[in-house]
Structure 1
Amino acid sequence: MTKRHVALPDDAEATLRGFVSAVDDRLAAAGGPAELADEVTETLVDLHGDREAYERWRDDDAVSPVEAARFANYDPRNATLESEYYAEKDEEAFARSKPLQWLWRQFDNTPLADNVEFALRFRRMLADHLFADVGEDVRLFKGISMTYGHNIEIGDNVVVHDDVHLDDRGKLTIGDRASVSDAVHVYTHDHDIVDQTDVDNYHTIIEDDARVTQGALVRAGVRVGENAVVGSRSVVQGDVPDHHVAVGMPAKSIKVKPGWESVAAPLESANENRQDERRLDHDLPEDLDAFDEFQRDRSPPDA
């Protein structure tokens, strides 16, 4: 094995446990989105060491415009996220996940986020509140972004490395002991090739013991099979069968893992696109005030 156990000094360990436990309790006790936003705000004020100045601002004492902007930004109600604009989002679920996602993102902007042992445990605690389901002994590194968070399910002993994007506009499932390497992008939504404002959502699956390596892209609705490997910088457009190794742009299965030949599908059966089977239906609100960011008509003349 290439890893070893690392422990913090006793005093630092006690401080870590106390802080993570206190935030966990406060988030758990929040009765609704408004209380949750309050707890996130207070946590971020303390994480950034701004308590004294923040209290002065809240008491209407004079502060500079840049300080006022910074203090207001701790409150997730004063922030917008890209996912907030998505018409089909579950408003009730998003109202709760937005403050938690804001805490996740802003925590990663603090010096504590570079303290690996501290940050792993903080994010794991936060994932319990944010994700649909998260297993034991999960390791979530710095710079992970997501669409909502509440449509993500992660199994036991999963590792998600730095700067990974987990799109859960649809639904994302990552199985036990899976590894998602640095700078991987995993998608659960896709745009129509003619009208890019037309979006479909899918269920994307990374199965138990699968490994998606550095910089790869997994398209919406793909299943990366059990114990499979996706090579670095690959673009996965179709399913990767169990125990297969897929590489390239677009990714193709090139071999079966040595020793797994008797239980793996043959190479000629690989690379099937089964996206349509994992399409998720959604209804838009009847009173939707639609926003077309492109303002163009690209209707094909031969349609």
Structure 2
Amino acid sequence: MTSLTRRLAHRAVHAAWRRIDRWGEIVPGTTAAARFGTFGPGTAIGFPTATIMNPERIHLGADTLVGRQVTLSVGYGLGDTHAPARALVVGDRCVIGARCTITAHESIRIGDAVWFGQDVFVSDASHGYADPDTPIGEQFGTHQPVEIGSGTWIGHGAIVLPGARIGRQVVVAAGSVVRGEIPDHCVVAGTPARIVRRLEPGVGWVGHQGDVRPVSAGLAALGGLTDLELAELTGP
């Protein structure tokens, strides 16, 4: 194959992929979008998807972007009639990064303007282990609803465990494992995630060692973790 032929073939392949990428998107007006319980205007799910299971029980708000190879799943199998009609609800103006997995069995609620990095995992159920003679994978755990408040950022590779209730305007650091209750306006990090900085009205953003960062408006309102904070979280 000559150099010119290779260039032409390369151009043709990428042009075809761009068309497939565009035509494969799930957007309002498509047959796939119509299968959802709610599919808001301006919302799009990137192509290819990973798994979309029982979409009639999934509700997506307006202007929400779901990345490629994302799993949105409700129930334990196709046509699961025991799952609630609104098992998975995602608000307006959300961003769900590539390869994220959100699997609901009873209730996962995600507020407005919540952004996920890539490879985030969220579930409201796990497996039991009480019966020593039954394989763990066959022991279904209890359902524990998950809530993620509006304006929150979930960093790359974070895991949100069953029963987690994350407040509004929370930063979850990359790779964190979140369980339990997380209050509004704080930064959490680690495994399990714990608060490393929180907003104190009239004072500022206060770190766990008492250092204070000022409150500011706009994109620079909250900086990342300091080297010391990261060292303490990842140390022995």
Q: TM-score, normalised by structure 1?
A: 0.45
Kindly provide the amino acid, as one letter, of the partner of residue 151 in structure 1: A
* Segment of structure 1 superposing worse, 233-242 or 216-225: 233-242
Q: 1:239 to 1:20 in 2, by over 3 A?
A: closer
Kindly provide the amino acid, as one letter, of the partner of residue 135 in structure 1: G
Match of 2:201 among 245, 259, 262: 262
Match of 1:162 among 93, 98, 107: 98
Kindly provide the amino acid, as one letter, of the partner of residue 91 in structure 2: G
1:230-279 Cα offsets, whole Å, 9 max, x none, are: 111111122221111110111111111xxx31199x989xxxxxxxxxxx
1:23 equivalent in structure 2: 30
1:202 equivalent in structure 2: 144
Bigger CA radius of gyration: 1
1:148-188 Cα offsets, whole Å, 9 max, x none, are: 28511011100000010101022111000001110011110
Structure 1 residue runs of 4 or more that deviate by more than 4 Å after TM superposition: 19-22, 117-123
Higher helix proportion, which one? 1
Structure 2 Cα separation of the partners of residues 118 and 206 of structure 1 = 21
Kindly provide the amino acid, as one letter, of the partner of residue 200 in structure 2: E
| 1:145 matches 2:71 | yes
Structure 1 Cα separation of the partners of residues 160 and 71 of structure 2 = 15
2:162 equivalent in structure 1: 220
Q: Trace 1:73-152 onto structure 2 (pairs within 5 A).
A: 120=46, 130-148=56-74, 151-152=87-88
| 1:211 matches 2:153 | yes
| 1:245 matches 2:187 | yes
| 1:232 matches 2:232 | no
Match of 1:177 among 109, 113, 122: 113
The structural deviation recorded for 1:131 is 4.5
Q: Note the residue ranges of structure 1 that are not aligned, 5 or more in a row.
A: 1-11, 29-35, 37-95, 98-116, 269-303
Instruction: Report the count of equivalent residues.
Output: 161
RMSD of aligned C-alpha atoms? 3.7
Q: Note the residue ranges of structure 2 that are not aligned, 5 or more in a row.
A: 1-18, 38-42, 76-85, 209-236
The structural deviation recorded for 1:203 is 0.8
8 Å Cα contact 1:146-1:165 kept in structure 2 = yes
8 Å Cα contact 1:168-1:187 kept in structure 2 = yes
1:203-233 Cα offsets, whole Å, 9 max, x none, are: 1011100111000111101011100011111
2:218 equivalent in structure 1: none
Kindly provide the amino acid, as one letter, of the partner of residue 231 in structure 1: A
The structural deviation recorded for 1:27 is 7.1
8 Å Cα contact 2:46-2:69 kept in structure 1 = no
Give secondary structure in 2 for the equivalent of 1:136.
Answer: coil
Percentage identity across aligned positions? 22
8 Å Cα contact 2:124-2:145 kept in structure 1 = yes
Q: 1:219 to 1:21 in 2, by over 3 A?
A: closer
Structure 1 Cα separation of the partners of residues 45 and 153 of structure 2 = 23
Give secondary structure in 2 for the equivalent of 1:146.
Answer: strand
The structural deviation recorded for 1:20 is 5.5
Q: TM-score, normalised by structure 2?
A: 0.57
Q: 1:185 to 1:201 in 2, by over 3 A?
A: same
8 Å Cα contact 1:164-1:184 kept in structure 2 = yes
